[in-house]
Amino acid sequence: MSRARCHALFLAAVSPRGATTRVAVRRGLSAWPVLQEPDMEYQDAVRTLNTLQTNANYLEMVKRKRGDPQTQLEAMKLYLARSGLQVEDLDQLNIIHITGTKGKGSTCAFTERILRSYGLKTGFFSSPHLVQVRERIRINGQPISSELFTKHFWRLYHRLEETKDDSSCVSMPGYFRFLTLMAFHVFLQEKVDLAVLEVGIGGAYDCTNIIRKPVVCGITSLGIDHTGLLGDTMEKIAWQKGGIFKSGVPAFTVLQPDEPLAVLRDRAQQISCPLYLCPPLQALEEGGPPLTLGLEGEHQRSNAALALQVARCWLQQKGYQDAGELKASRPSLPGQLPLAPVFQPTPRMQQGLRHTEWPGRTQLLRRGPLTWYLDGAHTTSSMQACVRWFRQALHRCERPDSGSEVRVLLFNSTGDRDSAALLKLLQPCQFDYAIFCPNLAEMASTDNADQQNFTVTLDQVLLRCLAHQQHWSRLHEEQVSPDPWSTPGQEQDGPASLLLAPHPPHTHSASSLVFSCISHALQWITQGRDPLFQPPSPPRGLLAHPVADSGATVLQEAAAIHVLVTGSLHLVGGVLKLLEPSLSQ
């Protein structure tokens, strides 16, 4: 490892070859200090909500002794009844239910914004949050206020406390279940015209799947993720995702590999669910102007195509006339799914697509000499899309007239994800520095309750960062595999080229560092040059390693610094919390 010049900067040292690690930090995230914030009532509610997170040790035990998932779904219905609602009450929310492996949040965002363009009052439930937990429950695209969150939280919490059964050892639902119940109550209380629900994990046994009559369902692109819960093949995962299908309720999906698509088709046929395959966005653009999307990246076109079909179906089901004029239909091939209609998107649909915002996904922030590229990609397929977007964005950006350019990767990965595979996809981006840190915004007491995480200990996440660093070092030492992103025979200036803009090699290339928190990582990366991120002086010893010291000089003198933040939406959220303080207001 020493050949790759890797260093860990988190109140501890790594032996030169990484053989021994001494982590001199508090054990367990539950030891975080209590906050002193002006909105104490909201923070108290969030801290109480955080007690519903599953303890790390208990979580491991549950994984080893997993019970019948159908029983868990029935338990969710009992929680709903204890909260004062019946499943039938949810019918009036006119729900759009979306699942998938990648792009489901973006598809939900497109869908919600399209329907809001029609003057409808929208509810939107999503996960995870980036900065504040109230982002998960939105009305008309905006997170509910701290006051509304606090009111509904305590109302639901006390209701569940009052109705607990003394014979039961579990009186409260877990974190995600509680927020799902709370979203239902908020949307009903606020009298939304429709609610867009993003599935948490999977579909069949996800707690959002207690709904019985959504208006329409959608399944985004499938891939391998959450294998411990959903299965280790695309077919098993497709079976889980298809569990949101309901008899007689229209459903749409995008183009998938043949095997998982066949599973979705069979799942739909078994319960008489009409399932349609979305034509590509290009088919809807024919004969009209190209559609402008508010979210960057070529992969967003697939999400937008699904969102248009889902939104149009909802409008039709609810009797709206202005839902897009049909074009000439394309026949489906025998044995394949019927194609969804090809139609001309209405001006309001076009407006919705154009104005869609979804922070932390293919997001750019330009701040002085720094350009931040933020994308929460955390599967191999979504990372491939992220790398395409990043490299195309680099190719488009203006080169400085003089001075050097520096590329920095800020990465973390959690859960059972294959971080080595993700890092291998990132290697051809020619980063000068790879920085690894946990999804912990700050070590100091200024951190807030919104980003507390009891499901892992601090030791665990720091050791995981060291493992990422070791994977990166091995990849650098190999340096024998060809660039999987370059296409033989293509001209560099061709429209399909993903080749990077010219990037002269530096003598310090392939250096990597580990920091104890996001704030320390950003302090080193920015070197005080981000006009909005101006933290206190860095802690003593932050530049104690040769790589950090020499890299600081390079960063201070660079004409342009390009920083890709990826691997985890929680990491992206922590970065946004520090770079955009207004998001914490």
Annotated binding-site residue numbers for Mg(2+): 127, 198, 226
Tokens found for residue 172: 């409260």
CA-angle at 452, arms to 447 and 454, nearest 5° = 145
Would you tell me the crossing angle of helices 546-557 and 518-526 to the nearest 10 degrees?
50
In terms of Cα–Cα distance, which of 562, 566, 434 is closest to 501?
562
Closest CA to 453 of 552, 573, 548: 573
Residues 73-105 as b/e (b if ≥16 CB within 10 A, e otherwise) read bebbeebbebbebeeeebeebbbbbbbbbbbbb
Say how far apart CA 273 and CA 295 lie, in whole Å. 31
Question: What tokens does 245 get?
Answer: 């299908």
Distance between CA atoms of 475 and 222, rounded to whole angstroms? 27
Calculated CA dihedral for residues 124, 126, 132, 137, nearest 10 degrees: 30
- Which of 222, 240, 227, 245 shows the shortest CA–CA distance to 97? 245
- Total residue count of the chain as it appears in this document: 585
Owner of token pair 């920085």 = 435
Residue in this structure with the two tokens 């004969």, named with its chain if needed = 287
Helices (H), 397-457: 419-426
C-alpha–C-alpha distance, residues 495 and 518, integer Å: 36
CA–CA separation, 365 vs 580, rounded Å?
A: 10
DSSP 7: E
Binding residues for ATP: 361, 375
| Beta-strand pair 251-253/142-143 | unpaired
Q: Which two tokens stand for residue 410?
A: 């800020």
Cα dihedral 250, 253, 255, 260, rounded to 10, equals: -100
Paired tokens of 478: 């190999």
The conformation of residue 323, written as its DSSP 8-state character, comes to S
Question: Which position has the token pair 């499943």?
Answer: 87
Chain Cα centroid distance, residue 581: 20
Write out the DSSP string of 157-200. HHHHHHT--TT-S--S--HHHHHHHHHHHHHHHTT-SEEEEE-S
Q: Which residues are annotated as a binding site?
A: 127, 198, 226, 361, 375
- Going by their DSSP bridges, the two strands 137-139 and 433-436 should be labelled as unpaired
* Whole-Å CA distances, 459 to 33, 478, 502, 516: 17, 29, 40, 10
